[in-house]
Chains A and B, each alone.
Chain A
Amino acid sequence: MTTEHFAIDARQLRKEFPGHVAVRDLTLTVPRGEIFGFLGPNGAGKSTSIKMLLGLVRPTAGSATVLGAPLGDVAIRRRIGFLPEDFRFYDWLTATELVRLHGRLAGMSPAQLRTRVPDVIEMVGLSQHRDRPLRGFSKGMLQRIGLAQAVVHEPDLVFLDEPTSGLDPVGRRMVRDVLRAERARGATVLLNSHLLSEIEVTCDRVAFIKDGEMVATRALGGAWQEGVRVVMHARGVSDDAMAGIARWTGSARLEGEELRFGVESEAVVADIVRHLVGAGADVYRVVPERASLEDVFLELVGEDRGL
């Protein structure tokens, strides 16, 4: 397996800002052609991670290759696209001028851009506004233009930092379509989002980030969905009975008569019920439900303790 097999291969990337650590340890491989999502609370270090991979921020330690090239390689950026967290640009340019300029900076020829620019502007749904200056654009329209400039040069690897922020439902749908088109083209996409449902439908794999550390990665549409969350209605659950459950699950929580936990598979649910009944509890109701990404997120990342 060559390095080129991986679009991203990061080894223990670390970033310290004066006084605190933004990214503790980013070790990550993303195969070519995958759509990979970063999930994590505000300030977890998602944007900083992306910026390190893009060469905007210099890592304090660690190393990485992007499309086979070491960090800071300038030429490889011809094959990379980026939508920043808060896309800004000279607002006196028109939408067409802006996308064309970015295409030129990315190394495309004026001839290529003549047909490509109207196409991407069409793709992000701004054809009607293509000759208007960006000054008059709304936040969502700017975000769309940002997306257009990120993919205008048909990059092999696209970084999208919260691509759906500020977008209406139609816009979010458009982002999904763009992602699908990118995948069909064979591009690799790494994206940040707070919208778990977005990640759920678009990503092949997701990494959970907390306090600058990757706490887990999960393949979506794969094994993890067999994980089961169970809500149980039970009376008389003793502390000993609770402690005993730890054999099957680490996430059991008892609130009043409601016992919640997550397990790998439904098979163990019967064992847990047997255990509880054996320990003297009355079990009234057992409701297994497929864990949503949100449940996994909260379980892994924890409840919001404030920033």
Chain B
Amino acid sequence: MTGIWLMAGVTLREAVRRKILWTALIAGALLLAVFAVAMHLQVVEFQGRAMSPFVRYQVEAGMMMIGLYTCDLLAVVLTILTSIDTIAGEIGSGTIHAIATKPLARWQILVGKFLGFLVMIAGFVAVTFAATIWVAHATTGVLPEHPFRGFALIVFECAIALALTFLFGTWFSTLTSGVLALGLQGVAFMGGWLEQVSGFSQSVHIVTLGVASSLVMPGESLWRRAAYEMQTQLAGSLSFSPFANVSIPSGLAVGYAAAYFAVVLGIAIWHFERRDL
């Protein structure tokens, strides 16, 4: 067991040292500044108008969701970029040789690394989410309904991206894994939107396509579930966007994502256990 924690620790230190994390944090800070200005302008704009507090609150909560969605995208991309090199790169450079001959099983190496990255990502999501919610609350007074459920779902979404990255890393070079991981993320993104559209469209084909994409890569459906959990009961109204609850992923979709995650990580471990290093 100690081995897992040692691997997690050294991986976390490695990840925290990466310039990419700090780049992402700076990007996050800049986006937050833009977000704060936008929120402020919105508030100023609303002051001059006679509108029902009900509608107003809906719009402001919707804007908060835009901010949170940005954090979500940033977190997923950060997950892939920081971890893409860890398996493929260490196999390629031979760094893994001195580790894989220590008295710890290969699955422990993989799980240790996984936990190291997950802690880093969870920290990133926590910081960016808290900052976004704080800005939204300070400017407009809105608060998300279930922020912790949302946080957990987003971290779960990142965990799926991480498991996929690990899976590709045990098979392909760093570059190939990166392309595949980002490509699948694209599929997920598209799947999410198609399912949105399908809420309005009568086309059975689009529905099928959307569902199929979400089955291939269920990450984005977790975001939509998170959005549903976080938005206030009133604010489901920005109907044509990734924040709308036109088609809310059910508990079943979340269950599917959990199974998907287990299978992907399982195959990654299985293959890493038996491949030549």
Residues of A within 8 A of B (CB): 51, 54-58, 74-78, 80, 82-90, 92, 101-102, 104-107, 146, 149
For the complex formed, measure the closest distance between the CB of A114 and the CB atoms of chain B, giving whole angstroms: 17
Tell whether B102 is near chain A: CB-to-CB under 8 Å. Answer: yes
A184 to chain B, nearest CB (A): 24
Main secondary structure of the interface of B (DSSP, over half): helix
Given contacts A74-B104, A74-B105, A85-B94, contact A105 B99 (CB under 8 A): yes
Query: Chain B contacts of A105 at CB under 8 A?
Result: 3, 6, 99, 102-104
Chain A residues contacting B103 (CB-CB under 8 Å) are 74-78, 105-107
Check B101 against A88 for contact (C-beta < 8 Å). Answer: no
For A104, give its contact among B2, B95, B97, B101 (CB under 8 Å): B2
In the complex the two chains form, is A89's CB within 8 Å of B276's CB?
A: no
B30 at the interface (CB under 8 A from A): no
CB within 8 Å for A55 and B94 given contacts A92-B14, A104-B6: no
Do B94 and A86 touch across chains, with their CB atoms under 8 A apart?
A: yes
Closest B residue to A86 by beta carbon equals B94
Task: Return the chain B residue nearest A54 by Cβ.
Answer: B101
Q: List the A residue with the shortest CB-CB distance to B105.
A: A74
Give the distance in Å from the alpha carbon of A100 to the alpha carbon of B186 in the complex.
42
Give the distance to chain B from A11, nearest Cβ to Cβ, in Å. Answer: 20
Query: What interface size band does chain B fall in?
Result: 20 to 34
Complex CA gap A107/B103 in Å reads 7
Using Cβ atoms and an 8 Å threshold, which residues of chain A touch B17?
92
User: 10 additional contacts, CB 8 Å, given A76-B103, A84-B94, A105-B99?
Assistant: A54-B101, A55-B101, A74-B105, A82-B97, A82-B98, A84-B98, A85-B94, A86-B94, A105-B3, A105-B103
Cβ–Cβ contact A146 & B14, under 8 A: no
Contact B277 A57 (CB under 8 A): yes
Residues of A within 8 A of B263 (CB): none
Q: Which residues of chain A come closer than 8 Å to B94, judged between CB atoms?
A: 84-88
Report B-chain residues with C-beta under 8 Å of the C-beta of A106. 102-103
Contacting residues of chain B (87-116) with chain A, CB-CB under 8 angstroms: 93-95, 97-105
Highest count of chain A CB atoms <10 Å: which of B10, B94, B101: B101
Complex: A302 Cα to B275 Cα, angstroms: 34
The answer to whether the Cβ of B205 comes within 8 Å of any Cβ in the partner chain is no
